Amino acid sequence: MIRFIIKRLLLGLFVLAGVSVITFTVARVVPSDPAARWVGPRANAEQIAAARIELGLDKPLPQQYITYMKGLFTGDWGTSIRTHQPVLRELLSFLPSSLELILAGMLIAVVIGIPLGVISAVKKDSWIDQLTRTFSVGGVSIPTFWLGLILQLVFFRQLSLFPLGERVSTNTSLLYPIDNWTGFYLLDSLLQGNFDFFKDAALHLVLPALTMAAYPLGLVIRMIRSSMIDVLGEEHIRVLKAYGIPAWRRVFVYGLKNALGPTATSLGLTFAYALTSTFLIEAVFSWPGLGMYASQAILANDYPVTMAITFLVTVTYILINLLVDVVVAMLDPRIKLYQNA
Amino acid sequence: MNSNSLPAPLPPVIEETSAGRAYKLKEFILFLRVHKLAAIGLSIIVILLIIAVIGPLISPYPDDAYKAVHLENKLLPPSWAHLFGTDELGRDLLTRTIYGTRLSFQIGISVILLSILIGIPYGLISGYFGGWVDNVMMRVCEVFLSFPSMLLSISIVALLGPSLNNMMLSIALSWWPWFARLMRSEAVAIKERGFVEAAKSMGVHPLVIIFRHIWPNSLSVIIVQISMAFGSVILTAASLSFLGLGAQPPTPEWGLIISTGRAYFLTNWWYVTFPGVFILLTVMAFNFLGDGLRDYLDPKTRNS
Amino acid sequence: MNELLRVEQLRVRIETRERQVTALDLDHISLQKGEMLALVGETGSGKSLTASSILQLFPTAAARITGGRVLFNGTNLLEASPSVMNGIRGKEISMIFQDPMSSLNPVFRIGKVMLEIIRRYTGAGKKQAKQLAEESLKFVGLPDPSGIMRRYPHELSGGQRQRVAIAMAMVCKPKLLIADEPTTALDVTIQSQILYLINKLKEEEGMSVLFITHNLGIVSQMADRIAVMYAGSIVETGRTDEVFRFPRHPYTRLLLDAIPRLRERRDRLPVIAGTAVLKEAAGGQGCSFAGRCPRATKRCTAEKPQLRAVVSSHEIACFHPWEEER
């Protein structure tokens, strides 16, 4: 197990190196001059030249790359051109907000998706299955940003059930402020016993989380359905019937565990997808998170931030995939991690 | 995401005789009758494609597609004159949505073509020659596949500068590795089969083997991948345009229309609703078709 | 009345998109208490389908019972409610399956399912259930029962797995055990051990056994009575020694002739010409063996012979049975 994890991490380093080379090259190849943007539009040539030296852009490319890589490992991820703040610190301050959104969305997807997928598989080809399948294809097909807008139209404008956007209303944050412990509003407010804040933050989370849930929900339903159909057709499930074990236990206890492995794998892939969904969802819901920060940076051509985000997402992707493999191995005793590492 | 659902290789293609074609057509009709959702998907695609092709003929106000301004008509709710309502410049949203259909299909076709042009030769070469060539080529592919495709597109387009063409290029750059990997596994599988071995032993040139034997035999798998990719490409394009990274105003691109509509949609619900419905329909249609085709071509589920 | 199980006029249809066939059209079989009945026939003759029908667990959703009765202790199982049926499965009637590789769930420990079955039917506490499970694992000859219960199926050999399956089937002491080709997937050496075990269950626990096999050698050693199936119907049934000594149905006779014998020298083994065809394809009437039968007449293709007794406890479905011993 440990050997497997180490091996995979080393492999991940290889991928990271590749990604860093690509982003680094692309960032250096672009026509726009970072030094010019660093000092602003009204700077003169001397100031730009000084900035070039300050940013290390006068050095040869390989040396720049080495400096860049060194920085990545020592926590110096560069400085934002737009805000002149250290990139890593800014990323870390926006990360919890996005993670809260993603985790809430994934939770909804799993909690709703698993039962729907199972029902769909058990009632294969019935009207309920057709409906669920359509729903699931709809989930993976719906434009995230549009879903967000439609939810706002219905639940904010028509029904006034949920707020339009942001993580918490200004009133609440002024009247019932919380200390920033983890950056997860729900967790922080619960730990601090601030239920007014918790309630408000939870209300604000509902629509963005539902929007976030659409794609993974569609995927979970599809994966659970297809793996459950395979599993339910297997002899060992029929055998359980011969032993008198009731249908719901055959399906939800004995069948489901077999189907969870493939689902976990695809959920892991979805996590990376969810990271990019934050770009769209946070824009729609004015959610102050990583996605919003990233799209602002990208539009402003703030290349250190763009590179850092690409890097962060890749790291997350690698770690999530590793986690998924470990979870899958825990679900299925036949998989021996160290053998196929 | 479809690594565990790759369709298995098919038997050699039926010769292109008239009987063979008739047989294929019959098979296809049977397939549509069994896979109702795929049939629905295909019908929607055909309808949208017709709308895209004859768009200028059926649009009520073709001038509104791009730069017209009729401020006296601004933000009108749906009516018989403007079925989808009008936008803040008084342009007919039905016209713009129809032109958006046209544009989306153009985007889809260009991106897929470009990805195929890169990915398929790449995969064929990698799979056919094997060995260290294959190893190196596939590692490069994996680097591309190892982070989410939309982020890759966003980064590339951000660095190249936002425009419709750059957006298409960036999406293609994130899609070609899927085709390359698929093509490679097909090439590897088909290479081992008797008729290729026979051709090789008779001294047939590798290029001829690749294009006469391997490529036609993997066509069906590629078609499935295309129909799955098409919807995804359109969705990504709309998303990038929504973020301001793709089509620029006044292009009638679905994502861009919705993006502009954000400023008005709370009081003018129709503005974002209809273009979004079109995106949803298009993407769903391609997914239905792709799912159906995959089930159909996958021998494991074929007889169930 | 000592009859434990009686199946009458059982008809099962299999309906797929492409075709519909009557896969089973069974006259009757019966099983006495403490008796072992062997259901014999070639692949696809409907013996496994018969077994599945008794417990109503078909491998595919396409199979449907369209008529008949399955009387178990006098109650018709086909009319029993699902909850009553679930109370019978595993407790009154249990089953051993052909392939021990696929009949155990790979992601659960052996003990998990065993304990669930026991606690479901006996209401025993955890400790007591564990003890019962260990006892039955010991009965089937597995050393270190508590160790086995912590194992996963893939950690056991084929023979061990089939023993586990038998232990699971017998753990609630059912009155009827259905064994569906329990040795087909196993090595020959292990086969005899499993057969010994099933025989032991019959002798020591007084279980009735419905033994399904295509292996006539096994039948001759173990079964009290035999029922020969062909294309979904019973063609001959009777006491094992009697059927072996004096097979009357042409199919049975050909089947027995095909068994190689030590004493005889033959250049090649006799085969039954042709292949079995389910009746629907052949027009739906007449004897289903008629197409391959050396003794068939016009009557055989026009009319379906019913199962009738020739001597007590020896029944055949044939218009032209053999009248002399083999």
**Residue pLDDT, tens place only, B158-204:** 777 888 999 999 999 989 999 999 888 888 888 777 777 787 778 78
Q: What does the domain layout of chain C look like in residue ranges?
A: 228-326
> Touching check for C116 and chain A: CB below 8 Å?
yes
Q: pLDDT for A263-319, tens place per residue?
A: 888 888 788 788 888 989 999 999 999 988 888 887 777 878 888 887 888 788 788
Asked if B153 contacts B173 with a C-beta cutoff of 8 angstroms, the reply is yes
| Helix, strand, coil in percent for chain B, rounding step 5 | 75, 0, 25
Q: Which of B36, B159, B258 sits opposite A145 (nearest CB)?
A: B258
Select, from the ranges A143-152, A175-184, C269-278, the one with the highest average predicted confidence (pLDDT).
A143-152
Which tokens sit at C153? 């199926």
Best CA proximity match to B2, nearest among A262, A12, C277, A44: A262
SS3 category, C13: strand
Q: Are A129 and A120 in contact (CB under 8 A)?
A: yes
Confidence of residue B239 (pLDDT cuts 50, 70, 90): very high
Q: Could you tell me which residue, A105 or C313, shows the higher pLDDT? A: A105
Name the maximum alpha-carbon separation found in chain A. Answer: 86
Cβ separation B151–A275 shorter than 8 A:
yes
- Among A153, B233, B64, which Cα is nearest to B241's? B233
Residues C229-261 have pLDDT tens digits of 988 888 899 998 888 888 888 888 888 887 776
Confidence class of residue B219 from pLDDT cuts 50, 70 and 90?
Answer: confident
Q: What is the pTM assigned to this prediction?
A: 0.82
| Residue spans per domain, chain B | 33-61+88-295
C151 touches chain A (CB under 8 A): no
User: Cα distance from C259 to chain A (closest Cα, Å)?
Assistant: 31
Contact A143 B287 (CB under 8 A): no
- CATH 1.10.3720.10 for domain A93-295: yes
pLDDT band at C265 (very low <50, low <70, confident <90, very high): low
Q: The complex's ipTM?
A: 0.84
Most confident residue range from A11-20, A135-144, C304-313: A135-144
pLDDT at C88: 87
Tell me what the mean pLDDT of segment B44-49 comes to: 95
**Nearest chain A residue to C119, by CA:** A245
Q: What is the DSSP string of B248-271?
A: -TT---HHHHHHHHTTTTTT-THH
The residue to which tokens 């290479």 are assigned: B191
Inter-chain touch A143–B255, beta carbons under 8 Å: yes
CB-CB under 8 Å, A238 with C57: yes
* CB contact (8 A) between residue A276 and residue B238: no
pLDDT(A107) > 90 = yes
Query: Helix or strand or coil: residue C109?
Result: coil
Taking only residues 258 to 287 of chain B, the set having a beta carbon closer than 8 angstroms to any beta carbon of chain A reads 258-259, 262, 265-266, 269, 272-273, 275-276, 279-280, 283-284, 287
Which pLDDT value is given to residue A340? 44
* Residue B68: other Cβ atoms inside 10 A: 16
What would the pLDDT profile of A41-89 be if each residue is shown by its tens digit? Answer: 777 888 888 877 877 777 787 888 888 888 888 888 888 888 888 988 8
Establish, for the pair of chains A and C, how many residue pairs have beta carbons separated by less than 8 Å: 74
CB atoms within 10 A of CB B99: 24
Task: Tell me the per-residue pLDDT of A193-249, one tens digit each, with 9 for 90 and over.
Answer: 888 889 999 999 999 999 999 999 999 999 999 899 888 888 888 888 888 888 888
Facing C102 at nearest CB: one of A236, A254, A258 = A236
| B3 pLDDT higher than 50 | no
Nearest neighbour of B280 by CB, restricted to A19, A130, A143? A143
CB of A110 less than 8 A from some CB of C: no
- Beta-carbon-side half-sphere exposure of residue C152 (alpha carbons within 13 Å): 11
Neighbours of chain B (3+ CB pairs under 8 A): A
Residue A188 Cα, gap to closest chain B Cα (Å): 30
What residues pair up with C237 in beta bridges, in sequence order?
C227, C315
Q: C4, C189 in Cβ contact below 8 A? A: no
C270-296: per-residue pLDDT in tens? 677 666 665 544 446 788 888 788 888
pLDDT band at B11 (very low <50, low <70, confident <90, very high): very low
Please state which of the four CATH numbers 1.10.3720.10, 3.40.50.720, 2.40.30.40, 3.30.1360.40 is assigned to the domain occupying B33-61+88-295: 1.10.3720.10
User: How confident is the model at residue A339, as a pLDDT?
Assistant: 47
- Listed as own residue / partner, the contacts of A78-85 with beta carbons closer than 8 Å and 24 or more positions apart are A78/A304, A78/A305, A78/A307, A78/A308, A79/A304, A80/A297, A80/A302, A80/A304, A80/A305, A81/A34, A81/A37, A81/A38, A81/A300, A81/A301, A81/A302, A81/A303, A81/A304, A81/A305, A82/A296, A82/A297, A82/A300, A82/A302, A82/A305
Give B273→chain A minimum CA distance, Å.
7
Nearest to residue A230, comparing CAs of A269, A262, A276, A193? A262
pLDDT over 90 for what percent of chain A?
28
C194 to C94, C136, C138: CA distances (angstroms): 16, 14, 14
Q: Categorize the per-residue pLDDT at B8 as very low, low, confident or very high, splitting at 50, 70 and 90.
A: very low
In Å, the largest CA–CA distance within chain B is: 76
Q: Parallel, antiparallel, or unpaired for β C225-230 and C233-239?
A: antiparallel
Interface touch C102/A235, C-beta < 8 Å: yes
CA distance A167 to A160: 17
Q: What average pLDDT does chain C have?
A: 83
**Does B166 lie at the interface with A, CB-CB under 8 angstroms?**
no
φ, ψ at A41 (rounded to 5°): -70, -25
Residue of A237, A244, A333 with shortest CB distance to C91: A244
**DSSP code per residue over A54-67:** HTTTTS-HHHHHHH
Q: What is the mean pLDDT of chain A?
A: 85
Task: Provide the edge-to-edge strand list for the sheet that holds C3-15.
Answer: C20-32, C3-15, C63-72, C75-76
